[in-house]
Amino acid sequence: MAFASDRAGAGDIFVATSEGELANLTNHPAGDWDPAWSPACAEPTKTCRIAFTSHRSGDSEIWTMDAQGRNLRNVTQHPAWDYWPAWSPDGQTLAYVSERDGDPELFIQAKDSQESIQLTSNSEADRLPAWSPDGSRIAFAAIRNGVEEIHIVNAQCGSTSEGCGVHERAVTGWPLKGTAPAWSPDGRRIAFVGWNQEDRPGVYIVGPEPENIETLWEGDAWIGSLTWAPDPGPGDGEGWLFFTSWQDGNHEVYVLPATGGAPIRLTQNLAWDDFPTLRPGVSFAPETAEVSKPEAPSSPPEDTGLASADEGLGYGVNMADLGKAYLVRDMGFDWVKSYVNWETVEPEPGVFRWVDPDNILDAFEGYGVRILMRVHGTPAWAKPEDTFLSHPPDDTADFARFMEALATRYKGQVAAYEIWNEPNLNYEWGYLEPDPAGYTAMLKAAYQAVKAVDPDALVISGGLATTGDGSPTAMGDLDFLQGMYDAGAQGYFDALGSHPYAFGNDPDYEDPWGLSLSRVTQQREVMLRNGDGETPIWITEAGWVLQTSWNLVEHEAIAVDQAQQAEYLARAYQKVQAEWPWAQTMFLFNLDFSSVPWYPAAEPMRWYAILNPDRTPRPAYSNLKSQMTNLK
């Protein structure tokens, strides 16, 4: 069985034998993931190759190697990210996902050619291709109108690529969502990872007709990277379904009989094990597999109350996709920052649509994670006509009433609220001149409204952008902070929000213009000069953007490589905890903006993420998880 794991540090491709021996085939400091055996591996007289995704060139590309990890070849050589390789049944062509047209699409490419053919072209995301056994079709996970489902597309091409990518059709539909398709050995059915309206994940099989959907097994946690291995031996002929799940509180590899039953856990390690695939032609016998009895996951802490200074530094993360909520617990973090748009929740005065914040609470239920909700966005009815979402409300009383309703609904469930975002930037203040007095009026109104209904909830001031002495589009953060104190802000926030991005520098660097992580020490000095030494600072965003072939505009000059991102983030948490006891909580930016479908490939926020676009962990993720494991 081949699989990917970060147990050696970065991602690597491993092969496990039936005797329990484990070989690291790649052992490279760059991330390697998504292994796929060539069909030729079933025949001893043919050359066996493993396709995989690698970041060793600086971008994400498809590579191949032999079964011993030698004779490497870079198949795709394109500056955009390519990942999730899948072999055609004849072993001559690779399907994969590429972002070269700006979002994830399906491509195919002959293994000995540099010419690729694009199969899908749309404005949403296509994922995880799988060839049918006869090579005529490719099943994949397609996000359409925000819903992920299983689609099929024609994979047979003429000499001019005519016929490729046509006749796309869905084989699953609402309310069942699906991903990670895998064909049955006879090509008449497709297994997939699905989840219902209650978001309970499971392994499903559809076919031969679309209405024939069978629930094979339901789990209690995330399931992914499904493959269907036929049984060439004396078994029942249905084969085995290999997949990854967080079922036991860690990313582990499982196998499930294709006829149903209980899954068998095959790995047990603190690392992230993923993308299992059985070598073609090999029989799987569960009674000889190295199976360890899974340990019971530790119970999450019941308390979702407030952090306090004597608890030590709070470790938090900004995240976009609530479906990845369990990853906050997987990393060992205790805080998450999510976002609430006032405009969406109260589209008309007094008319509330609580779906989005309710989903946030539902997603983190049971994980023992404390929630910081950032509130932003003024409804059209509460601001001047034809102004931007970030424009402050005409009447702070409208905002106060909203905050009162929000805090009432989530009393005892939401631990903290962050009021607005980077109000010292003009585009975060409706493209107006930043106004510390105007912002302070909003902050005071929100503070009083929240405390009136939920005294235990914390109110955090909107994270100040690190802007040095300011610019035509921004007010210097120290000047803005002093302006807040001049307007009477003291006593109306439980912590000062700060965004001390380091602009590509290491955590210990002190920039003469204040553009470094240490900017919080200067903000602290302003607080002390105003007699506010008891109020802590919360770093509600901090991170390092990655180098990429996409043009990241102003972020381009401050980008770092993946190893630097991993080192700097880990050191930043260590530094804040060791040197700045008044900095109470730090939220990295970000976990997963790279892997959500609503951001195009060139969006800079994707390249601050510690997950890759294919949802796999970057070295920063593995490094931080290891650090938290050692701390705890």
pLDDT of the residue at 341:
98
Strand partners, 256: 241
364-384 pLDDT per residue, tens: 999 999 999 999 999 999 999
> Do 180 and 193 form a contact (C-beta atoms < 8 A)?
yes
Higher pLDDT pick, 45 / 55:
55
pLDDT at 107 over 60: yes
Structure tokens at 415: 């631990």
Q: How confident is the model at residue 520 (pLDDT cuts 50, 70, 90)?
A: very high
pLDDT of the residue at 310:
42
Alpha helix positions (H), 81-186: none
**CA dist., res. 33 & res. 483, Å (int):** 50
pLDDT of the residue at 29:
87
pLDDT at 298 over 50: no
Lowest-confidence region among 156-160, 181-185, 508-512: 156-160
Higher pLDDT pick, 152 / 309:
152
- What's the chain's average pLDDT? 92
87-104 pLDDT per residue, tens: 999 999 999 999 999 999
Dihedrals phi, psi of 488, to nearest 5 degrees: 90, 30
pLDDT of the residue at 161:
60
pLDDT of the residue at 72:
96
C-alpha dihedral sign at 486, 492, 494, 498: negative
- Please state, in angstroms and as integers, the Cα–Cα distance from residue 436 to each residue in 230, 458, 469, 474, 539, following that order: 66, 21, 15, 12, 19
Q: How confident is the model at residue 19 (pLDDT cuts 50, 70, 90)?
A: confident
Average pLDDT estimate for 110-115: 88
Containing H/E element for 96?
strand 93-98
**CA dist., res. 69 & res. 60, Å (int):** 18
DSSP state of 287: G
Q: Is 130 helix (H, G, I), strand (E, B) or coil?
A: strand
Q: What is the CA radius of gyration of the chain?
A: 26
**CA dist., res. 545 & res. 610, Å (int):** 10
pLDDT of the residue at 283:
85
148-168 pLDDT per residue, tens: 999 999 998 755 566 677 789
**CA dist., res. 88 & res. 82, Å (int):** 17
Winning range, highest mean pLDDT, from 12-26, 165-179, 333-347: 333-347
**CA dist., res. 246 & res. 294, Å (int):** 11
pLDDT at 280 over 60: yes
Share above pLDDT 90 across residues of the chain, in percent, rounded to a whole number: 81
Hey, where are the domains in the chain? Answer: 23-227, 309-631
> Do 87 and 109 form a contact (C-beta atoms < 8 A)?
no
116-142 pLDDT per residue, tens: 999 999 988 999 999 999 999 999 999
Lowest-confidence region among 16-25, 57-66, 126-135, 201-210: 16-25
pLDDT at 65 over 70: yes
pLDDT at 18 over 80: no
pLDDT at 312 over 90: no
pLDDT at 299 over 70: no
Give the number of other Cβ atoms within 10 Å of residue 591's Cβ.
26
Average pLDDT estimate for 265-270: 90
pLDDT of the residue at 301:
36
pLDDT of the residue at 154:
92
pTM passes above 0.75? yes
Q: The domain 309-631 is classified under which CATH number: 3.30.70.1520, 2.40.160.20, 3.20.20.80, 3.30.70.270?
A: 3.20.20.80
458-477 pLDDT per residue, tens: 999 999 999 999 999 999 99
pLDDT of the residue at 293:
39
pLDDT of the residue at 470:
94
217-233 pLDDT per residue, tens: 999 899 999 999 998 76
pLDDT of the residue at 10:
85
pLDDT at 524 over 60: yes
**One-letter amino acid identity for 196?**
N
Query: In the 3-class helix/strand/coil scheme, how is 613-625 assigned residue by residue?
Result: CCCCECHHHHHHH
- Please state, in angstroms and as integers, the Cα–Cα distance from residue 377 to each residue in 107, 197, 348, following that order: 39, 29, 13
How large is the greatest C-alpha to C-alpha distance in the chain, in angstroms? 81
- Please state, in angstroms and as integers, the Cα–Cα distance from residue 439 to each residue in 258, 362, 479, 483, 532, following that order: 59, 31, 13, 10, 19
- Please state, in angstroms and as integers, the Cα–Cα distance from residue 532 to each residue in 329, 460, 463, 528, 536, following that order: 34, 15, 17, 5, 9
593-615 pLDDT per residue, tens: 999 999 999 999 999 999 999 99
pLDDT at 286 over 80: no
pLDDT of the residue at 46:
87
Alpha helix positions (H), 454-507: 477-486
**Placement of tokens 């807040």 in the chain:** 484
532-577 pLDDT per residue, tens: 999 999 999 999 999 999 999 999 999 999 999 999 999 999 999 9
**Placement of tokens 């559809």 in the chain:** 206
C-alpha dihedral sign at 448, 452, 455, 458: negative
pLDDT of the residue at 167:
83
Q: How confident is the model at residue 308 (pLDDT cuts 50, 70, 90)?
A: very low
pLDDT at 306 over 50: no
pLDDT of the residue at 235:
54
CA 599 to chain centre: 12
Average pLDDT estimate for 259-265: 92
pLDDT of the residue at 44:
85
**CA dist., res. 163 & res. 171, Å (int):** 20
pLDDT at 288 over 70: no
Structure tokens at 141: 């996970």
DSSP state of 365: T
Q: Name the superfamily (CATH) of residues 23-227.
A: TolB, C-terminal domain (2.120.10.30)
CA 271 to chain centre: 17
